[in-house]
């Protein structure tokens, strides 16, 4: 058998990658690392195939059997007991009767046929049942779906389908990434669940829907005064009188962000309301698991309107210093430039497309540099038909970064953090520094970010360590310990400010001069997907998994802008002194913003 | 007419073969597609294609190998259609993994047989965690809350259990001569 000398089943790093992939928790870097190993190492393929094989067998053993039993029980209990009995009698007389000692194979076939019949009948019944339930007040129906969404009942789980009704005690769960579901009530109220969220329709009481984890966005129809819409989390009840808002829930607290209308927030202890607060439009309210009062704070006051949508997908976007055009990279379509503000395509480079870890436009606006996850730097001199591909590979690369001017690139691999200078004239990569990993092979950086001139490199590690290196000297010049794995990470152009997201601690901005830290976002109900500083270092821009883009003032941490993008922004950039914002994922969206200046000090940062 | 009556019903033949090899095919597809929902979609499409093209299957040859080929092309089409989606292997990786599974198919079947024995050897606590994690009726987070533990701790325990099962299965296969 073709395998390496080490036993692949004892390779803990590989096992961890496979585990996270099987659990559906692998991030992009982990997934790419796994694929790289599978491509290059037969032993890794053996270990992976073994894990998946056992995973499937375990699924078969524990899950499928349970699901069929659950379906059969439900089927029998509710509707078709007579038909099922007839079916079984028929089966018994016609099929079993032909073989006095049916083989295991035959029994399996019969079980499969029974299961298939039950599933088909249940499907038909569901169709009818959905129509009946839709007419009933108080029950929500699935109106839209993206990605993996499941309905979890007391005795079985199924993939959600449009038209399904969320019945009392059932939960609706969206997958960790790239999933979304919209529920609609008979009165037109809609509840959108973002990725990694769970809601439950309570079995009794006046609460219509309970957010168990993650985040939802609610667009409530006007409610009758005597029978308002009531939502709940572990931390509070939300009495809604016709409004638009977002609700986030994690272990420690629930956060309400109110766009329009009014919500009465009630905190209960021992079934008694101990605190009741009217939350107004433009406010956020945080109810925590502690006994402290609900905190009220203003939402970002800035406004933005969608000026244009360009039908180009991408994972990185950058605006030329002149503000007259932009470059976008997409893993399938390659590099493209568009004129601003009308989005007219200028040039494209489709060769060597692939996921990007960095995109830059040189100061003279003549060259685009892309750091490709395929292990190379692509230098595209505008006007030339083909880009030059410069190999930049390492063993088990975990993270990569490109400086904003495209002159430096770095990656973190088994051997350390390698920094190279991109020689645009000779079209070559020159080694600049080899910085150490945190603690050997397992201490690779999970996130990297360059200052504007490429002289400062920030590295975030697995255990929450965050370091800033002087690239030329090869020294660590600043270090801070955060709560959890740092991802993603940004450093301001002048190298003074750091912004880092961790699952446990949220989004934090750090002043490396005063060492002060300011938590800008603490709920794990939504996570940061992309992060960058504005070109003048005055603002921090972040794209979130709840389809929002948020902007904060760097100096005082004040929220400046909150936009509902309509999709998860993969890339975000600002230009024209903060008056325009660009986001990209399925399409490029150009937002016209009010001047982003810090508002008056609020009640709480 | 008698000949017709003696001919095996193709539907029955297909169901028998499909049921016999279903776990192997599912494992094959899941190896090529890390995303569970994708794998389920492809299984459905591939099984339909197998049924429609069952006439092309040569009796006497390996149904499993034939089904693997159908499944592989269904995976390739699926990946090409969803090229923009994240966390999907490249064609090259899919090809390598498919080759591996096809080459070591017997070994993988042995692993599945050995798993029965290895699961029996687990402690009650570990078996309960496996049952909860693989039966989709109880969310892991909820189960963790019932136990007063964090979901992360439970995931770690699940990882440790899987690793111990892998080692146990390897040992048992070695004892069976699958070195």
For residue range A369-390, list pLDDT tens digits in order: 999 988 999 999 998 888 999 9
C-alpha distances out from residue A329 to A333, A335, A452, A567, B96, Å: 8, 5, 20, 17, 28
Q: Report yes or no: A235 at the B interface, CB cutoff 8 Å.
A: no
Tell me which residue has tokens 């990725």: A195
Mean pLDDT computed over every residue of chain B: 80
CA distance A28 to chain B (A): 7
Q: Residue range B51-69: average pLDDT?
A: 84
Q: What is the ipTM of this complex?
A: 0.80
What pLDDT, on a 0 to 100 scale, did the predictor assign at position A403? Answer: 95
DSSP at A294 = P
| A502 closest CA partner among A516, A517, A520, A482 | A482
Contacts with A485 from chain B: Cβ below 8 Å: none
Each residue of A41-52: b (16+ CB within 10 Å) or e?
A: bbbbbbbbbbbb
DSSP at A281 = T
Residue A102 or residue B36, greater confidence: B36
**Strand intervals (E) in chain B:** none
The structure tokens listed for B169 are: 């299965």
A239 contacts A275 by C-beta, under 8 angstroms: no
Report helix, strand and coil shares of chain B as percent, to nearest 5: 80, 0, 20
C-alpha distances out from residue A271 to A47, A169, A268, A274, A278, Å: 52, 20, 6, 9, 20
A contact test, residue of B162, B167, B171 with most A CBs within 10 A: B162
3-class secondary structure per residue, A74-119: HHHHHCCHHHHHHHHHHHHHHHHHHCCCCCHHHHHHHHHHHHHHHH
Instruction: State phi, psi for A362 to the nearest 5 degrees.
Output: -70, 160
What is the C-alpha to C-alpha distance for residues B23 and B28, in angstroms, rounded to an integer?
8
Counting one residue from A and one from B, how many pairs have CB atoms under 8 Å apart? 154
DSSP string, A506-564: EEEEEETTT--EEEEE--TTS-EEEEEE-TTSSEEEEEETTSEEEEEETTT--EEEEEE
Q: Do A332 and B84 touch (CB under 8 A)?
A: yes
Q: Do A54 and B20 touch (CB under 8 A)?
A: no
Sheet holding A517-521, edge to edge: A489-491, A497-502, A506-511, A517-521
Q: Do B112 and A21 touch (CB under 8 A)?
A: no
Report helix, strand and coil shares of chain A as percent, to nearest 5: 20, 40, 40
Say yes or no to pLDDT of B75 above 60.
yes
Residues 6+ apart with CB under 8 A from A291: none
Q: Do A54 and B162 touch (CB under 8 A)?
A: yes
What pLDDT, on a 0 to 100 scale, did the predictor assign at position A166? Answer: 92
Query: In terms of CA atoms, which chain A residue is nearest residue B142?
Result: A212
The structure tokens listed for B49 are: 């294609």
Kindly give the residue spans of alpha helices, DSSP state H, lying in A100-191: 104-135
Instruction: State phi, psi for A513 to the nearest 5 degrees.
Output: -80, -50
CA distance A110 to chain B (A): 10
Say yes or no to pLDDT of B178 above 70.
no
Q: Do A49 and B163 touch (CB under 8 A)?
A: no
What is the β-pairing status of strands A506-511 and A190-193? unpaired
CA distance B20 to chain A (A): 7
The 10s digit of each residue's pLDDT in B124-164 is 788 878 877 776 556 677 777 777 778 778 888 888 898 88
Element (H or E) spanning B30, and its range? Answer: helix B10-32
| B151 closest CA partner among B173, B167, B129 | B129
Query: In terms of CA atoms, which chain B residue is nearest residue A34?
Result: B89
What is the C-alpha to C-alpha distance for residues B30 and B24, in angstroms, rounded to an integer?
10
A224 contacts A209 by C-beta, under 8 angstroms: no
Contacts with A19 from chain B: Cβ below 8 Å: 155, 158-159, 162
Query: In terms of CA atoms, which chain A residue is nearest residue B37?
Result: A148
A374 contacts A366 by C-beta, under 8 angstroms: no
Q: Do B97 and A49 touch (CB under 8 A)?
A: yes
**Strand intervals (E) in A342-427:** 345-349, 356-361, 367-372, 376-381, 388-391, 399-402, 408-413, 416-423
CA distance A2 to chain B (A): 10
Q: Residue range B164-177: average pLDDT?
A: 82
Task: Identify how many contiguous H helices and E strands chain A contains and give both numbers.
Answer: 6, 45
Contacts with A54 from chain B: Cβ below 8 Å: 111-112, 115, 162, 165-166, 169
What is the C-alpha to C-alpha distance for residues A235 and A237, in angstroms, rounded to an integer?
7
Q: Which residue numbers in chain A have pLDDT < 70?
A: 1-10, 63-138, 154-155, 242, 291, 439-442, 595-605
Q: Report yes or no: A59 at the B interface, CB cutoff 8 Å.
A: yes
What is the C-alpha to C-alpha distance for residues A294 and A450, in angstroms, rounded to an integer?
39
**Alpha-carbon torsion angle A210, A212, A215, A221, nearest 10:** -10
Q: Do B134 and A59 touch (CB under 8 A)?
A: yes
Q: Report yes or no: A56 at the B interface, CB cutoff 8 Å.
A: yes
What is the C-alpha to C-alpha distance for residues B7 and A144, in angstroms, rounded to an integer?
48
Q: Report yes or no: A38 at the B interface, CB cutoff 8 Å.
A: yes
DSSP string, A438-468: SBTBTT-EEEEEE-TTS-EEEEEETTSEEEE
A374 contacts A352 by C-beta, under 8 angstroms: yes
**Strand intervals (E) in A133-282:** 140-146, 149-152, 157-159, 165-166, 171-174, 180-184, 190-193, 198-200, 209-219, 229-232, 237-240, 244-249, 253-260, 262-269, 272-280
| A313 closest CA partner among A336, A330, A338 | A330
Query: In terms of CA atoms, which chain A residue is nearest residue B15?
Result: A109
**Angle, helix B36-52 to helix B63-81, in steps of 10 degrees:** 120
What pLDDT, on a 0 to 100 scale, did the predictor assign at position A255? Answer: 92
Q: Do B97 and A48 touch (CB under 8 A)?
A: yes
CA distance A254 to chain B (A): 17
- Dihedral of CA B35/B41/B47/B50: which sign? negative
Contacts with A197 from chain B: Cβ below 8 Å: none
């Amino acid at each position: 058998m073709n395998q390496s000398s080490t036993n692949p089943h004892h390779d803990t790093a590989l096992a961890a990658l496979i585990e996270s992939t099987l659990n559906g928790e692998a991030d992009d870097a982990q997934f790419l690392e796994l694929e790289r190993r599978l491509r290059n190492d037969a032993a890794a393929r053996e270990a992976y195939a073994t894990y998946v094989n056992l995973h499937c067998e375990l699924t078969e053993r524990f899950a499928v059997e349970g699901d069929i039993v659950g379906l059969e029980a439900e089927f029998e209990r509710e509707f078709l007991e007579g038909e099922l009995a007839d079916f079984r009698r028929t089966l018994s007389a016609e099929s079993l009767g032909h073989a006095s000692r049916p083989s295991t194979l035959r029994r399996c076939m019969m079980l499969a046929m029974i299961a298939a019949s039950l599933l088909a009948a249940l499907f038909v019944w569901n169709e009818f049942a959905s129509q009946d339930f839709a007419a009933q007040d108080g029950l929500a129906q699935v109106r839209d779906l993206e990605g993996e969404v499941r309905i979890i009942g007391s005795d079985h789980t199924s993939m959600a389908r449009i038209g399904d009704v969320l019945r009392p005690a059932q939960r609706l769960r969206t997958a960790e990434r790239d999933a979304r579901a919209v529920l609609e009530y008979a009165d037109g109220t809609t509840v959108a669940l973002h990725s990694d969220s769970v809601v439950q329709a309570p079995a009794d009481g006046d609460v219509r829907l309970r957010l168990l984890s993650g985040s939802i966005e609610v667009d409530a129809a006007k409610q009758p005064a005597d029978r308002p819409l009531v939502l709940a989390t572990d931390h509070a009840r939300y009495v809604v009188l016709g409004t638009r808002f977002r609700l986030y829930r994690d272990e420690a607290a629930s956060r309400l962000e109110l766009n329009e209308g009014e919500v009465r927030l009630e905190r209960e202890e021992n079934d008694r309301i101990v605190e009741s607060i009217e939350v107004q439009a433009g406010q956020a309210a945080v109810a925590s698991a502690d006994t402290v009062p609900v905190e009220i704070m203003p939402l970002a006051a800035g406004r933005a309107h969608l000026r244009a949508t360009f039908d180009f997908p991408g994972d990185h976007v950058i605006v030329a210093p002149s503000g007259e055009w932009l470059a976008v990279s997409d893993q399938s379509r390659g590099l493209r430039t568009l004129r601003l503000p009308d989005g007219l395509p200028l040039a494209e480079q489709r060769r060597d497309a692939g996921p990007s870890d960095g995109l830059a436009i040189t100061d003279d606006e003549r060259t685009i540099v892309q750091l490709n996850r395929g292990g190379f730097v692509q230098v595209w001199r505008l006007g030339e038909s083909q880009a030059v591909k410069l190999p930049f590979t390492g063993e088990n690369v975990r993270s990569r970064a490109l400086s904003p001017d495209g002159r430096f690139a770095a990656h973190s691999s088994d051997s350390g953090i390698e920094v190279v200078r991109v020689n645009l004239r000779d079209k070559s990569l020159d080694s600049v520094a080899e910085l150490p990993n945190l603690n050997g092979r397992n201490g690779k950086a999970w996130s990297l970010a360059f200052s504007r001139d490429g002289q400062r490199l920030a590295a975030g590690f697995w255990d929450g360590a965050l370091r800033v290196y002087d690239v030329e000297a090869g020294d660590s010049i600043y270090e801070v310990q955060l709560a959890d794995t740092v991802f993603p990470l940004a450093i301001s152009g002048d190298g003074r400010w750091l912004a880092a997201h961790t699952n446990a601690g949220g989004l934090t901005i750090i002043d490396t001069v005063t060492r002060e830290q300011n938590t800008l976002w603490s709920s794990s109900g939504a996570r940061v997907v992309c992060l960058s500083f504005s070109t003048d270092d005055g603002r921090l821009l972040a794209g979130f998994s709840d389809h929002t883009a948020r902007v904060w003032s760097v100096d005082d941490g004040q929220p400046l802008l909150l936009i509902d993008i309509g999709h998860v922004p993969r890339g975000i950039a600002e230009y024209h002194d903060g008056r325009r914002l660009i986001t990209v994922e399925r399409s490029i969206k150009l937002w016209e913003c009010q001047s982003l200046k810090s508002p008056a000090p609020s009640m709480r940062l | 007419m008698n000949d017709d009556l003696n001919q095996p019903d193709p539907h029955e033949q297909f169901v028998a073969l499909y049921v016999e090899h279903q776990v192997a095919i599912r494992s094959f597809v899941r190896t090529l597609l890390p995303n569970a929902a994708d794998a389920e979609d492809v299984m459905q499409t591939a099984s339909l294609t197998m049924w429609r093209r069952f006439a092309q299957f040569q009796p006497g040859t390996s149904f499993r190998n034939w089904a693997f080929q159908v499944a592989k092309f269904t995976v390739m089409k699926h990946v090409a259609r969803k090229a923009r989606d994240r966390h999907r292997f490249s064609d090259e990786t899919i090809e390598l993994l498919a080759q591996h599974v096809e080459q070591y198919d017997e070994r993988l079947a042995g692993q599945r047989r050995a798993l029965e024995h290895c699961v029996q050897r687990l402690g009650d606590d570990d078996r309960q965690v496996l049952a909860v994690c693989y039966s989709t009726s109880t969310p892991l987070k909820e189960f963790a809350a019932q136990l007063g533990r964090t979901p992360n701790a439970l995931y770690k325990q699940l990882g440790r259990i899987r690793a111990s099962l892998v080692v146990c299965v390897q040992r048992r296969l070695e004892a069976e001569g699958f070195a």
